[in-house]
Amino acid sequence: MSNVITAKNLSLSYGLEEEVIKDATFIIKKGDFVFITGPSGSGKSTLLKSFYGNLQPKEGSLVIGGLDMIDIKKSKLQELRTHLGIVFQDYKLINEWTVEKNVVLPLWISGYSTEVQSTQARRLLHHVKLSGKEDKYPMELSGGEQQRVGVARALAKNPFLILADEPTGNLDEYSSNVIWDLMENACQQLDTTVVVVTHKIPMVFNIAYRHFTIDERGSVYEVH
Amino acid sequence: MKFIKRHISLIFPLVAILLGLEFFIVFDRTTDTYEKSLSSDYSIMIVAKDEMSIDDFKALDKHILGVKELPKPQALKNIYLEKSKNVNKAIPNFYEIKLDNLLGIKALEEVQKNLSESKSIKRIETFHSTYKSQYELFTFIKFSFGTFIFFMAIIGFFLIVKQMEVWNFMHAQRMKVMEIFGASLFLRSKVLINMAVLDAVISSILTSAMFVSLQKMWISDTQMEILKEHVSDVFLFSDFFILLFASIVVVLIAVFLVVINVKEE
């Protein structure tokens, strides 16, 4: 199995502030489902941000999908991001766009034809049980539905890596279970690597997963 | 209604800037011609005891463009002719001097001073007071108009800055999300560019239309010579392209500043 994320003695910080993540070394392989947990402010989201190039490593090395993230060129980073699926706690949907347009955003960015976009949107919305809501706007949907749109968008281009930052943080139990099911399916059926930052690992989880935790000092450990 | 609201907020300041620009172009064009006609109508009278050539005058002051010798008054000539030929020599020479442009009051005084340095020149008549009132009125109109145009441009500029803040508020979320998913700078700003360019075109058409109607309706009937004589110069077809170019440059700079200031969270 190939390595999707390789971190070696990785340290992360915001500007000149104290390091949030210290000396982290780990490898995440293709098809892995990884939970990253830890107390508030431990640096879970910071670590995830570095995976999609929102934060540059301060020390050590970080390789994502074969690309060295240190001083990565803007064009390379843009290219990498078009192959990632990212899910946020606050959904980050574009409110003035319809559900369908939101879902096909990664395809639109990559220049796919409108026919491909439309077919893929229908398929994905059916997959996340939102058929018939193509023309709705995000604000017309419930939180759980908005997050399902977010997951559909993340899956739109069959990414090699899905990064999710507290994807169920704002959702009730039923909606959370739907999101976990979608993530499991993506990992199991598409062999996509999934990295999820969460406060709490779901009680019922049907596939094998790895669990990393970050302590208050910013050290990353693999629990199992 | 939402469409109109969204566009009018940029069209309004753009039209203000374009009006300022077009007023400047038209005013510059019109006053330039008027200034030339004022300058060509003006001349200095010189009375000199010796005959003087254009080179003699040019050597005295660089602003002297041309000289015309005036015929000596006939009556005066007859009297002197009757007396003696020697006396005839004593009849002074009269010259009318043209200047190269409409000089300021101080520059005109300088010309007068330079001419008076010549021992041949007995008398210089600059028609100072008439020239002064004409020149001062002209410069006052020019200054007032310049100030008006300047303030219009300033107001337009601040309205555009305000509009940039509105854009930032309206489009930042979309641009941030698009950046996360790998959209290029062009794709992120495409919506804004399309909207801004459309507004630039509309503003240029509106401003041109205003000037065309001004030219056709008001100026043709006006009694103001400065405008009436140059009515065709008020709005030229090429002005539309100048306005379009200027408005597109302004909106693209504004869009670019908004886009580069949207930082990923």
β A210-214/A220-222 pair status = antiparallel
Task: Characterize the bridge pairing of strands A67-68 and A59-64.
Answer: antiparallel
Sheet harboring A67-68: ordered strands across? A21-29, A3-12, A59-64, A67-68
pLDDT at B88: 60
Does A106 reach chain B within 8 Å, measured CB to CB?
yes
Residues 125-154, chain A, touching B (beta carbon < 8 A) = 153
Domain B43-126 CATH class label: alpha beta
Q: What is the distance in angstroms between the Cα of A30 and the nearest Cα belonging to chain B?
A: 21
**B182:A77 CB<8 A:** yes
Half-sphere exposure of A20 (CA within 13 A, CB side): 22
Q: Which two tokens stand for residue A171?
A: 């959702």
Category of B205 on φ-ψ map: left (φ > 0), alpha (ψ -120 to 50) or beta: alpha
Select from A54, A96, A109 the Cβ nearest to the Cβ of B181.
A109
Q: Are strands A193-197 and A161-165 parallel, antiparallel or unpaired?
A: parallel
Partnered with residue A222 across adjacent β-strands are A212
Q: Are the Cβ atoms of B178 and A109 closer than 8 angstroms?
A: yes
Dump pLDDT digits (tens) for B115-164: 888 878 888 877 777 777 877 888 888 888 888 888 888 888 888 898 88
pLDDT for B249 beyond 90? yes
Q: Cβ distance A43 to A218 under 8 Å?
A: yes
First to last CA, chain B: 33
Buried b (16+ CB within 10 A) or exposed e, B33-51: ebbeebbeebbbebebeee
What is the rounded distance in angstroms from the CA atom of residue A77 to the CA atom of residue A120? 25
User: Testing the interface with A: which of B169, B173, B177 to mutate, by most A Cβ within 10 A?
Assistant: B177
Is the CB of A209 inside 8 Å of chain B's CB atoms? no
pLDDT at B52: 80
Q: Is A80 on the interface with B (CB under 8 A)?
A: yes
How far is it, in rounded angstroms, from Cα B206 to Cα B240? Answer: 10
pLDDT at site B128: 74
The pLDDT assigned to B70 comes to 78
**Structural domain boundaries of chain B?**
2-37+144-261, 43-126
- The mean pLDDT of chain B is 82
Backbone phi, psi, residue B94, to 5°: -110, 135
Structure tokens at B239: 């002005």
Give the strand pairing for A220-222 and A59-64: unpaired
The answer to whether the beta carbons of residues A58 and A138 sit under 8 Å apart is: no
Answer yes or no: do A109 and B183 touch at CB < 8 A.
yes
Which positions in chain B touch A79 (Cβ < 8 Å)?
Answer: 182
Contacts of A93 in chain B (CB under 8 A): 177
Mean pLDDT, rounded, for B211-230: 70
> Residue B179: closest CA among chain A residues belongs to which residue?
A78
Which of chain A's residues have a Cβ under 8 Å away from the Cβ of B174?
Answer: 94, 96-97
Say yes or no for a CB contact (<8 Å) between B178 and A106: no
> pLDDT digit string (tens) for B13-63?
889 889 888 888 888 887 777 777 777 777 888 888 877 888 888 888 888
Please report the beta strands in chain B, taking only residues with DSSP state E, as ranges in sequence order. 44-48, 64-70, 93-99, 121-125
Q: With beta carbons under 8 A apart, name residues in chain B contacting A94.
A: 173-174, 177-178
- Taking the CA of residue A211 and the nearest CA in chain B, the distance in Å comes to 26
Q: Do A93 and B180 touch (CB under 8 A)?
A: no
Spatial separation of the C-alpha atoms in residues A213 and A218, rounded to whole Å: 9
With CA atoms as reference, the chain B residue closest to A53 would be: B180
Contact B221, B32 (CB under 8 A): no
Contacts of A106 in chain B (CB under 8 A): 181-182
Chain B closest CA to A22's CA: distance in Å?
A: 22
**3-class secondary-structure state, position B76:** helix
CA distance B221 to B210: 16
Mean pLDDT for B251-256 is 92
Interface contact B177-A94, CB threshold 8 A: yes
Q: Closest chain A residue to B183 measured between Cα atoms?
A: A109
Q: Phi-psi bin for A141: left (phi > 0), alpha (psi -120 to 50), beta?
A: beta
- Range among A16-25, B232-241, B247-256 with highest mean pLDDT value: B247-256
d(CA A29, CA A121): 29
Extract the tokens encoding A10.
């990785």
Model pLDDT, residue A159: 93
Whether the predicted pLDDT of B85 surpasses 70: no
**B223 contacts: CB under 8 Å, gap ≥ 6:** none
User: What's the rounded Cα separation, in Å, for the pair B142 and A217?
Assistant: 71
**B174 to chain A nearest CA, in Å?**
5
Asked if B182 lies within 8 A of A97 by C-beta distance, the reply is no
CA distances from B224 to A50, B77, B228 (A): 70, 43, 6
Distance CA A55, CA A12 (A): 8
- Inspect the interface and report whether the beta carbons of B178 and A78 lie closer than 8 Å: no
Residue A81, chain B, CB below 8 Å: the answer is: yes
Residue spans of chain A under pLDDT 50: none
Average pLDDT over residues B171-193: 91
Radius of gyration for chain A, computed over Cα atoms and rounded to the nearest angstrom: 17
Among B181, B192, B263, most A C-beta atoms within 10 A, so best to mutate, is B181
Question: What CA–CA distance (Å, rounded) separates B53 from B66?
Answer: 10
Q: What share of chain B has pLDDT > 70, as a percent?
A: 86
ipTM surpassing 0.95, yes or no? no
A10 inside 8 A of chain B by CB: no
CB B244 within 8 A of CB B22: no
What is the distance between the alpha carbons of residues A167 and A175, in angstroms, rounded to a whole number? Answer: 10
User: Contacts of residue A96 in chain B, CB cutoff 8 Å?
Assistant: 174
* Residue B127 Cα distances to A2, B102, B121, B157, angstroms: 96, 14, 17, 44
Asked whether A61 and A7 are in contact (CB, 8 A), the reply is: yes
Using CA atoms, how far apart are residues B192 and B241, in angstroms rounded to an integer?
22
C-alpha closest to that of A51 among A61, A40, A62: A62
**CA of A106 vs chain B CAs: smallest distance (Å):** 6
- Note the pLDDT of residue A8: 94
Nearest CB to B177: which of A52, A80, A92?
A92
| Coil, helix or strand at residue A64 | strand
Closest Cα in chain B to A91: B177
- Which residues does chain B have within 8 Å of residue A82's beta carbon, measured at their own beta carbons? 181-182
Alpha-helical runs (H) found in B181-213: 185-213
By the 10 Å C-beta count (0-12 exposed, 13-18 middle, 19+ buried), A43 is classed as buried
Please name which of A4, A2, A3, A38 lies closest in space to residue A22, comparing C-alpha atoms. A38
